[in-house]
Structure 1
Amino acid sequence: MQVHNISKQNSVLNTFLSEIRDKSIQTDAMRFRRNIERIGEILGYELSKSLQYKTSTIETPLGNCNIDLLENDIVLCSVLRAGVPFHNGLLNYFDKSENAFISAYRHHKESPESFEIIVEYLSCPNLESKTLILADPMLATGQSMTATYKALKPFGKPREIHLVSVIGSNDGVAFVKSQFNNNTHLWIAAIDETLNSKGYIVPGLGDAGDLAFGEKLQH
């Protein structure tokens, strides 16, 4: 798997990352959602550079213009619920893509440190020979990303796969690298060093879903 850590090069992306991490700023849910959306836009732009293009002729009021246009058939799949603003950011740039949504959550067993990923809801078009962009804002353990992809397999084999995340951990990146083939790309805004005992990224930012949409009852 090819990993593209976008924050390795300084850009305005760092501003949006700092604000979603800053506990004095991230309490503004609308601003948090908008920053997640903007990060999705930046990652979508970077991802677009690796896709396939075909020259088309456009007629302007004064003549003709040749320009290379995107020709991939894209399916954009996001993990609910934290993935909603992230999905919107990617969709702003891949506005002609088909869309899929899937719910994946941690079901804790005997202790907060022990959990399994439960997939309940799934809506997906045909994936056969298409470009799949699988988006999950937080790549902590990597289990949600892999469980999501396994759930999508009955819908067809994509021509190529791009994973997109806001923040990941070294462990999460290593896990998805072991689960996806070498032709898969991971586009990520930042990679943090560690996970805590509950499987959350440190320093991370907390619970992205709660920060975007409010705290939820545990079950």
Structure 2
Amino acid sequence: MHIHNISNQNSILNTFLSEIRHVNIQKDSMRFRRNIERIGEILSYEMSKTLNFCAQTIETPLANSNINLYDDNIVLCSILRAGVPLHNGLLNYFDTAENAFISAYRHHKHDPESFEIIVEYLACPNLEGKTLILADPMLATGQSMLATFEALKPFGTPKEVHLISVIGAQEGVDFIDNHFDKNTHLWIAAIDETLNDKGYIIPGLGDAGDLAFGEKLQK
């Protein structure tokens, strides 16, 4: 797998990362959502450099102009609910893309420190020969990302697969590195050291879905 850790280079991205992590700033849910969205825009820009481009001629009011434009058929797929602000950031840049949405959540049977990934809802266009961008803001264990990708397989085989995350744990990055095709690209804003006993990223930022949309009722 091709792993692109964007925080390895200093940029304005660090400002948005610091604010979604900061225990006081992250309490502003509107600012939290907007920062996730802005991180999605930065990751989209970096990812766009690897797309396929072709020369096109456009007509301006004064003369023709030649420019290279990407010609990939893109499908954006986000994991609900935490993935919505990240999806918006991607869609701001790939505004002609098709869209897919899937629900995937942790189900704790008996032990609060063990869980399985449950997929309940899926809406997806045909993926055959297209460029799939699979987005999940928090890459903890990597199991949600893999379960989502497996659920998408009946919709066709993408030409290329790009995974987009805001923050990941090294364990999760290693997991998807071992389970996805070697030509898959991971675009991530930061990779943290470890997971705690409950599978949350440390230092991470907490629960991205709760911070964006409020605490959820537990089943």
What does the per-residue CA deviation read over 1:98-148, in whole Å, with 9 as the maximum and x for residues that have no partner? Answer: 000000000001121010000000000000000000000000000000000
Structure 1, unaligned runs of 5 or more = none
Secondary structure at 1:114's aligned position in 2?
coil
Partner of 1:149: 149
Distance 1:216 1:112 in 2: 17
Distance 1:22 1:119 in 2: 31
Partner of 1:15: 15
Distance 1:34 1:122 in 2: 25
Partner of 1:121: 121
Report the residue type matching 1:159 in the other structure.
K
Partner of 1:204: 204
Distance 1:76 1:30 in 2: 23
Distance 1:111 1:30 in 2: 34
Secondary structure at 2:199's aligned position in 1?
coil
Partner of 1:79: 79
Cα displacement (A) at 1:217: 1.1
Distance 1:70 1:96 in 2: 11
Cα displacement (A) at 1:218: 1.2
Distance 1:95 1:130 in 2: 16
Report the residue type matching 1:52 in the other structure.
N
Distance 1:110 1:199 in 2: 15
State, as a whole percentage, how many aligned pairs show the same letter.
Answer: 76
Distance 1:215 1:144 in 2: 20
Q: Pick which of 11-20 and 106-115 moved more.
A: 106-115
Cα displacement (A) at 1:59: 1.0
Distance 2:203 2:53 in 1: 38
Partner of 1:32: 32
Cα displacement (A) at 1:60: 1.0
Report the residue type matching 1:153 in the other structure.
K
Distance 1:114 1:187 in 2: 27
Partner of 2:55: 55
Distance 2:35 2:112 in 1: 29
Cα displacement (A) at 1:56: 0.4
Distance 1:145 1:62 in 2: 48
Q: Which consecutive aligned stretches of 4+ in structure 1 deviate over 3 angstroms post-superposition?
A: none
Distance 2:47 2:83 in 1: 17
Distance 2:47 2:26 in 1: 26
Partner of 1:183: 183
Report the residue type matching 2:95 in the other structure.
D
Distance 1:143 1:180 in 2: 12
Report the residue type matching 1:81 in the other structure.
R
What does the per-residue CA deviation read over 1:182-218, in whole Å, with 9 as the maximum and x for residues that have no partner? Answer: 1000000000000000000000000000000000111
Secondary structure at 2:26's aligned position in 1?
coil
Q: How large is the RMSD of aligned CA atoms in angstroms?
A: 0.4
TM-score scaled to structure 1, two decimals? Answer: 0.99
Partner of 2:112: 112
Distance 1:10 1:62 in 2: 40
Distance 1:194 1:97 in 2: 34
Structure 2, unaligned runs of 5 or more = none
Distance 2:125 2:154 in 1: 11
Q: Pick which of 93-102 and 52-61 moved more.
A: 52-61
